[in-house]
Amino acid sequence: MSLRIALAPGDGIGPEIMDAVLFLLRESGAASHLDFVPVEMGRAVFEAGESRGLTDAAAKSVEECGLVLKGPMETPKGGGGKSINVTLRKMYGAFANLRHFRTLPGVETVYSRAGISVNFYIVRENIEDTYGGIEHRLTNDVIECKRLISAPGCDQVHRFAFEAARRAGITRVACGHKANIMKMTDGLFLERFRVAAQDFREIEISDVIIDALCMNLVLKPQQYQMVVLPNLQGDIVSDLAAGLVGGLGFAPSANIGHHVSIFEAVHGTAPDIAGRGIANPTSLLLSALMMLRHVGLLNQAAALENALLTTLEEGVRTGDFGDRSRPAAGTMDFARSIAGNLGRTPEKIAGVPVPEQDVPVFVRPARPHANPLLRAFTQVVSQVAGCDVYVDASLGPTELALVMAKIAEPTPFRLTMISNRGTQVWPTGSVFTECVDYYRVRFEVRPGVSRGTIGQGPAVSLFDRIAEKFYVTDFQVLRDFDGRPGYSLAQGQ
């Protein structure tokens, strides 16, 4: 029985590199187990006025197949059109982005010249973080982007990373973060990493602050086997990592979800070389190999990988390798050379072991009946501790404090702090702190009022009173969760 795979060749060089990859899947025998279902996504769909970038029929096929092999797709510039690549990952819950970065023969880098072999994975959380794209203009001068990190969102990406590490024989996994600054959001990401690690005790764990990680990767990339990262940091570090191994053309990517997984090249549509038959299909081929391994076609994946490595070792290269010493191969010539090397293993570097498993074992999960609701903490007691009211105001901090303290007089709250861009400016602060037209005003339950006795009603009433005088651009009820404050302190508080 064949596995159905939604196939979207993509825009620009997409169709050329996809033809090469499909040819190799046929030559290796893998395609005899796969039934490719063409789907319409990308530029033509955007141009036809569908702002999601995929047709309803494509969405249905993706949901039915659960597996997508896609080429790069153009994101419309300007207008409201969002990246179809990001839409697919988020809409179908492909929560973990797995990328493999390693030195390939013939791909010259400063590390290959120094005899350093780079070989590590990045697992990037794919749904949350600033990628929610939740942005608002709050005042004339200030725009915010909300950064959401959830415990279940962390749990699924960390668990996936540890399971992938176990399968690949990886013994060390590091968590990259910025929890020294974003103590609550990245703090949660790190805390859930440590919790997930308890089920994988054979794997050694560590954590590293993102800036140090970037430096370490450049100085000594061989010290990492796998790094797990939140979405935006993962995005940036992935491209840094691609640079270590020769560029985006050599880095494969898998977006794994519970129901839908998407395998795609990391690079874009390369409009500058599209239609010329000279694009490098390596990234898409390596992504297709991740897909073969995901579904259990381990034998064919290993055979193709060894054939690719042998071809690179023989010196066959597309133009982007920058090797001027020999004529560049076109996309299909490169693919034909790989096909000619099926059954061979590279001589100078280690090939990959070829397992016997050569039929799919993938079982498509049942379609959910309703949106799955993810939960991590269900038995938490929370109590209202106050509220942060964000106002559009161009007063000085002391003047603002006088007005706010007066407004709060008849309520169970007292004014405790005012901050501007996260820095405390009242009751203490520095006159050197530059302010913009957006203040956070913090009210906390007065001494003598027991926290457990008031709900959020009085906080909402306070909001109403403040809204009579100011634009309230944002409002947050402050709560303690199991006695621990669910809010951060201001810088300098």
Please list the residues that pair with 34 across neighbouring strands: 3
Residue 73 touching ligand NAI (CB under 6 A): yes
Q: Which parts of 315-354 interact with ligand NAI (CB under 6 A)?
A: 320
For residue 321, give the DSSP letter.
Answer: G
Q: What token pair was written down for 72? A: 């790069």
Closest CB 3 distance from ligand NAI, rounded Å: 23
> Which one of residues 27, 74, 128, 313 is an interface residue with ligand NAI (CB under 6 A)?
74
Smaller CB separation from ligand NAI, 127 or 454: 127
Query: Which of these ranges, 265-273, 306-314, 352-360, 485-493, lies near ligand NAI under the rule CB under 6 A?
Result: 265-273
How many residues are present in the chain? 493
How far is 291 from 273, CA to CA, in rounded Å? 26
Which residues between 82 and 121 bind ligand NAI (CB under 6 A)? 85
Crossing angle (nearest 10°) for helices 298-313 and 282-295: 160
Rounded to whole angstroms, the Cα distance separating 144 from 156 reads 27
Q: How far is the CB of 272 from ligand NAI (least distance, A)?
A: 5
Q: How far is the CB of 90 from ligand NAI (least distance, A)?
A: 14
Q: Give the alpha-carbon dihedral of 94, 128, 57, 17, to 10 degrees.
A: -60
H/E segment holding residue 398: helix 397-408
The kind and range of the H/E element at 130 are strand 129-137
Nearer to ligand NAI, 23 or 224 (CB): 23
Establish if 285 lies at the interface with ligand NAI (CB under 6 A): no
Q: Which stretch binds ligand NAI (CB under 6 A): 22-30, 70-78, 221-229, 485-493?
A: 70-78
Alpha-carbon dihedral sign for residues 72, 93, 255, 213: positive
Q: Torsion-angle region of residue 277: left (phi > 0), alpha (psi -120 to 50) or beta?
A: left
Q: Does 53 bind ligand NAI (CB under 6 A)?
A: no
Shortest CB 77 distance to ligand NAI, Å: 7
- Under DSSP, the state recorded for 484 is E
Joined together, the tokens standing for residue 125 give 């959380």
Residues 242-261 binding ligand NAI (CB under 6 A) are 248-249
Q: Applying CB under 6 A, does 280 fall inside the site for ligand NAI?
A: yes
152 part of the interface to ligand NAI, by CB under 6 A? no
Residue nearest to ligand NAI (CB): 268
Residue of 9, 23, 65, 75 that binds ligand NAI (CB under 6 A) = 75
Write down the H helix ranges in 275-390: 282-295, 298-313, 331-340
Do residues 267 and 148 lie in contact, with contact meaning Cβ atoms separated by under 8 Å? no
CB of 238 to ligand NAI, least distance (A): 11
**Residues in the site for ligand NAI, rule: CB under 6 A?**
13, 17, 72-75, 85, 248-249, 264, 267-273, 279-280, 283, 320
